[in-house]
Structure 1
Amino acid sequence: MNRLEIRGTGKWFGKGGALLLAAALITGTAASARPETAHAYSVWNVYNEAMRLDKQGRYAEAIAKYEQAGREMAASRDYGNAGRMYRNAGEAYVKLKRYDRAVVSWDLESAYYAKVNLVQDSIAVQRKADALRSSVQLYYGTGLSEAALAGRERGLAPLEPANGILLGAYAEQNPKVHATNGKFYTNEYPKFTGKKHAGYLIYFTYGTPLSTIRSHLDAAKRSGTAIELGVQPLQGMGQVRDDAYLRQLARDAAASGVPIFLRFANEMNGNWTPWKSTPKTYIEKFRLVADVFHEEAPGSVAMVWAPGANPIDNLRSYYPGDKYVDWVGVSLYSIYNPSADPLKQGIDRSSHIAKLDAVYGWYADRKPIMIAEGSVSYMYPEKMRDVTEWSVYQTQQLYATLPMKYPKVKAAFWFDVDTQGTTDRVKYYGLSNNDKMLAAYRKAIANPFYLSGIGANTTLSYNPIAATVPARKLSVSGYVKTWSPTLGRVVYKIGGKQVGAAANPPWTAELDFSKYRGKSITVDVAAYDKQGKWVTTQSVKTKVQ
């Protein structure tokens, strides 16, 4: 549908009747209008009244008028202008700091734009709404029986745990745990972080022999850890062939005695890698490498396909196919970016863990998922501003939420180094330079769901609170997403009475459901920011049985 905006009025019109309406509005009269046009003009009177109230700061009254106009326009199938009314209503809600209601208005705006084929407008509005959308999912911890755990052991991918997340890191450049001809990260990193890690990431240049990283392989073998081998064809995909080099590399990997996650040519969906190529070429080369390693190193090497979380639009076109991929990995990074604030208040409200959603949604039903490398920067580099509070919260939320909301994530590798790229933009990921980040990481990985070795499992499991919940005392945790970049407290209420509270993700509290046996109840989850101000209340309905 074509649309017309009358300059200076902010009014949109559909193709039908646009000129007649424009003339009526410009002249201030509608005496000659047809009955249906006169009706439309009355709607615009409502809109004009809303604008007047809005300018006077009477936002609640303005909202009522915007919504009235939006409903009438939608009823007459003037969807484009109905969307505009709800956009204005949403902006007025923002002025009142009623962000949950603003999201509802923007959802309607997006839906109405979609009805008139304003696809890009609809997508942009939906992204804004999603960025501010509050949501809650609740879970309760329980223990798996031996039989249940054994059932999960069937049909696993190479090196995949039946239950739990393999704990990993890139630690080679952390000066507190590694030095050439000195201390080695496989020995020192467990002391540094308070927990043994199941694997470590090592970068490896395609075309060189595996013996170039012999010290790393030997150290991994001694410490009983795996290696995530980040294989990088720095000369481009043309060098990758089924030849003597590749065959020997696969045989040497099998003979190393070290479990290896072979991550071949990662982040292929970006344009920053030397091995960037067309999807066709990439798929051909990945399949070639997978065939050789599956033949020469069966069981001891797992093939990992690992795009970047962004760009997302071309990501799936590089997928080599289920036959060739053992694990799906993803690079997951966050750097503070206030320019993306949908409220234009200069605050990064994005969710680090939400960047996992697309890859998880596309592949978790058939492949184990790995965060192949990832981190959260504790500095806003453009302004050299410390944002440790934000990065600590994002890190806590990541490790607290993965076991509950993303049960098919089976490995997570933290990227522990400050890096400097060709643009001289330092990325501050190193735990050795930030005590608060280190403390947050140590606390987060203490969860027994994070495993310290290949072949390890945990009986800890998380069940969603959905249609029903057991009538007993439960350890309840939650994933709580809001428009606030950080939260400081979550309170649980049933029947208006507080039944639990928590101060850190995953917001764990002991709730007694036994007194509600046989009843349908609503658990209200109230979230507060670090200053104690109320942010949102979300509800979870369930039946206790």
Structure 2
Amino acid sequence: MATSLTAPLELYVQTPQNPTAAPLAKFEPPAGCYVGLWADLDSPDGRSDLDRLTELVGSHAVYFRYNFFRRPENANPWSPFFPAKFVEQLGGEDAAIHLAVEPRIPLKEVTEDLVKEWARQAGALNRPIFMRWASEFNDTVNSWNKDPVLYREKFRLVARIMHEEAPNVAMVWTPMAFSDLKSVMAYYPGQEFVDWVGITLYSKYYWNGDPARVTVNLLPNSRLDVLYQAFADKHPIQVSEYAAEHHSASSSRDLSYFATAKMQQFYFNIMLKYPRIKNINWLNFDMTAADEYKGYPATRRANYNLLKSPSVLKTYQHILSQPYFLKTFNSASRYSYQPIPPALNQNAVVLGYVADARVSSVRYFLDGQLLQKTSVAPFRVQLPTLKAGKHTLKAVANVGSPVQYSFKMP
């Protein structure tokens, strides 16, 4: 076990696949985490971005977009009642679709007939769909925030109909990041109506746009903890939206260094310590250039487009090269991760969970001798063949006190 009280990191060991102990939920992989990507097929730039990213980083297991729920007669080619074309083009055996479905009519006008029509169209395509219904209900700007009782009623209605009429749809209940569990539990419709629990959060350089509050030393995964502790034993968890900004409309600074650090901390810390997070969706979008966001405050407009920062793109490629991150649907990781146990097998692979956001390099000492220095997250090192008996592994990060583990080799 670790001997430091101020450890900047924790050490984990790679093991063969250790599937989730609980029965798997709909679409849940036994081990590993799907990677998802926001995709735009409605504009030439959006289509070319998707094609280019596929060329550079490969496929994704999930593709997502927004869908406005309204009466069919009020739909239009750019905002269809059900986005069948998107689902047909990107969904299939190797990829699921994630639809962020937002009511554009009052919740009380969401009727059984309307929901059944949406379910009929979804079911007819028989593609796997994560339906993120009326998410971020804990944000007061959303009209479905006003009445928790009505929200629960309508979520249950939608879930019941999807489960009956469109078994290819998984229901995802998604608050935005929060710290007080009570603020969202009034909206929770109940375990039988929720297939996955989701969350949306972003890594922004300035907290709420305040230049006096820089978030460089904030671990992005720390904002998952309350939700994870409350729901990971009941549901698989989907990070419905995540991205780290490499440019903000409120500053001329290049924030690529910030984005690369945060995305590595986020994805790799989840890989090591949050086994029930099974789906992460990156919002590949430049809000600083999009016409529809030009009326928003500069502090709310960020550039998350992977193609517009070479270092951010390279980091994303590195993340997706890890076999734990699943680039095809209905797949599973060969590996799982656990804290270093009292006994290790020969040639064990050890990785570092970042417990301090300032960690950028790690030196490993085996039985007092320098084994390896690495500046590449997740700070992986492979132990050599060792004699039977007791050994020590010390990790020294660039900040904080060293951490030392003792283990036996059979």
| Same fold at TM > 0.5 | yes
Is it true that 1:523 corresponds to 2:386 in the alignment?
no
Corresponding residue to 2:321 among 422, 437, 446: 446
What's the counterpart of residue 354 of structure 2?
Answer: 480
Is it true that 1:139 corresponds to 2:4 in the alignment?
no
In 1, are the aligned partners of 2:219 and 2:356 still within 8 Å (CA)?
no
1:308-330: CA deviations, max 9, x gaps?
11364512332211111000111
In 2, are the aligned partners of 1:500 and 1:510 still within 8 Å (CA)?
no
Corresponding residue to 1:434 among 305, 309, 332: 309
In 2, are the aligned partners of 1:137 and 1:479 still within 8 Å (CA)?
yes
What's the counterpart of residue 153 of structure 2?
Answer: 284
Q: Which amino acid aligns with 1:190?
A: T
SS at match of 1:303: strand
SS at match of 1:436: helix
Q: Which amino acid aligns with 1:253?
A: A
CA distance in structure 2 between the partners assigned to 1:434 and 1:223 by the alignment:
31
SS at match of 1:526: strand
Evaluate the alpha carbon distance shift between residue 380 and residue 134 of structure 1 in structure 2; reply closer, same or farther with a 3 A threshold: farther
In 1, are the aligned partners of 2:8 and 2:397 still within 8 Å (CA)?
no
Deviation of 1:222 after TM superposition, in Å, equals 6.1
What's the counterpart of residue 65 of structure 2?
Answer: 202
Evaluate the alpha carbon distance shift between residue 511 and residue 345 of structure 1 in structure 2; reply closer, same or farther with a 3 A threshold: farther
Aligned length: 391
In 1, are the aligned partners of 2:204 and 2:215 still within 8 Å (CA)?
no
SS at match of 1:386: coil
Deviation of 1:221 after TM superposition, in Å, equals 3.9
CA distance in structure 2 between the partners assigned to 1:184 and 1:525 by the alignment:
40
364-373 or 135-144: bigger deviation = 135-144
What's the counterpart of residue 271 of structure 2?
Answer: 403
1:199-256: CA deviations, max 9, x gaps?
11111111255665222122024684211011101233222222x2211211211111
Evaluate the alpha carbon distance shift between residue 475 and residue 224 of structure 1 in structure 2; reply closer, same or farther with a 3 A threshold: closer
Q: Which amino acid aligns with 1:162?
A: P
In 2, are the aligned partners of 1:492 and 1:526 still within 8 Å (CA)?
yes
CA distance in structure 1 between the partners assigned to 2:207 and 2:160 by the alignment:
45
Evaluate the alpha carbon distance shift between residue 320 and residue 335 of structure 1 in structure 2; reply closer, same or farther with a 3 A threshold: same
Counting only pairs closer than 5 Å after superposition, residues 341-380 of structure 1 correspond to structure 2 as 348-380=216-248
Evaluate the alpha carbon distance shift between residue 335 and residue 318 of structure 1 in structure 2; reply closer, same or farther with a 3 A threshold: same
Query: Which structure has the bigger radius of gyration?
Result: 1
Evaluate the alpha carbon distance shift between residue 339 and residue 249 of structure 1 in structure 2; reply closer, same or farther with a 3 A threshold: closer
Evaluate the alpha carbon distance shift between residue 252 and residue 402 of structure 1 in structure 2; reply closer, same or farther with a 3 A threshold: same
Counting only pairs closer than 5 Å after superposition, residues 246-285 of structure 1 correspond to structure 2 as 246-285=115-154
1:450-493: CA deviations, max 9, x gaps?
21222111222223214x13141111111122262xx3310112
CA distance in structure 1 between the partners assigned to 2:256 and 2:69 by the alignment:
37
Deviation of 1:197 after TM superposition, in Å, equals 0.5
Q: Which amino acid aligns with 2:383?
A: L
Q: Which amino acid aligns with 1:479?
A: Y
1:56-91: CA deviations, max 9, x gaps?
xxxxxxxxxxxxxxxxxxxxxxxxxxxxxxxxxxxx
Counting only pairs closer than 5 Å after superposition, residues 114-513 of structure 1 correspond to structure 2 as 134-144=7-17, 155-172=23-40, 178-179=46-47, 185=50, 188-192=52-56, 194-209=57-72, 212-221=82-91, 224-242=94-112, 244-298=113-167, 300-310=168-178, 312-313=180-181, 314-337=183-206, 348-419=216-287, 420=293, 422-425=296-299, 426-466=301-341, 468-482=342-356, 484=358, 487-512=359-384
What's the counterpart of residue 116 of structure 1?
Answer: none
CA distance in structure 2 between the partners assigned to 1:208 and 1:216 by the alignment:
19
Q: Which amino acid aligns with 2:395?
A: V
Q: Which runs of 5+ in 2 are unaligned?
A: 73-79, 288-292
Deviation of 1:359 after TM superposition, in Å, equals 1.2
CA distance in structure 2 between the partners assigned to 1:340 and 1:205 by the alignment:
28
CA distance in structure 2 between the partners assigned to 1:176 and 1:392 by the alignment:
27
Evaluate the alpha carbon distance shift between residue 254 and residue 153 of structure 1 in structure 2; reply closer, same or farther with a 3 A threshold: farther
What's the counterpart of residue 82 of structure 1?
Answer: none
Deviation of 1:535 after TM superposition, in Å, equals 4.3
CA distance in structure 2 between the partners assigned to 1:134 and 1:332 by the alignment:
26
Evaluate the alpha carbon distance shift between residue 222 and residue 158 of structure 1 in structure 2; reply closer, same or farther with a 3 A threshold: closer
Deviation of 1:498 after TM superposition, in Å, equals 1.9
502-511 or 278-287: bigger deviation = 278-287
TM-score by length of 2: 0.86
SS at match of 2:141: coil
Q: Which amino acid aligns with 1:136?
A: L
What's the counterpart of residue 65 of structure 1?
Answer: none
Identity of matched residues, %: 29
SS at match of 1:275: helix
CA distance in structure 1 between the partners assigned to 2:339 and 2:44 by the alignment:
40
Q: Which amino acid aligns with 1:349?
A: N
CA distance in structure 1 between the partners assigned to 2:101 and 2:213 by the alignment:
42
SS at match of 1:334: coil
Q: Which amino acid aligns with 2:370?
A: Q
In 2, are the aligned partners of 1:171 and 1:189 still within 8 Å (CA)?
no
Q: Which has the higher contact order (CA 8 A, sep 6+)?
A: 2
TM-score by length of 1: 0.66
Evaluate the alpha carbon distance shift between residue 402 and residue 172 of structure 1 in structure 2; reply closer, same or farther with a 3 A threshold: same
CA distance in structure 2 between the partners assigned to 1:423 and 1:345 by the alignment:
17
What's the counterpart of residue 402 of structure 2?
Answer: 537
SS at match of 2:130: strand
SS at match of 2:159: helix
CA distance in structure 1 between the partners assigned to 2:156 and 2:280 by the alignment:
24
SS at match of 1:247: helix
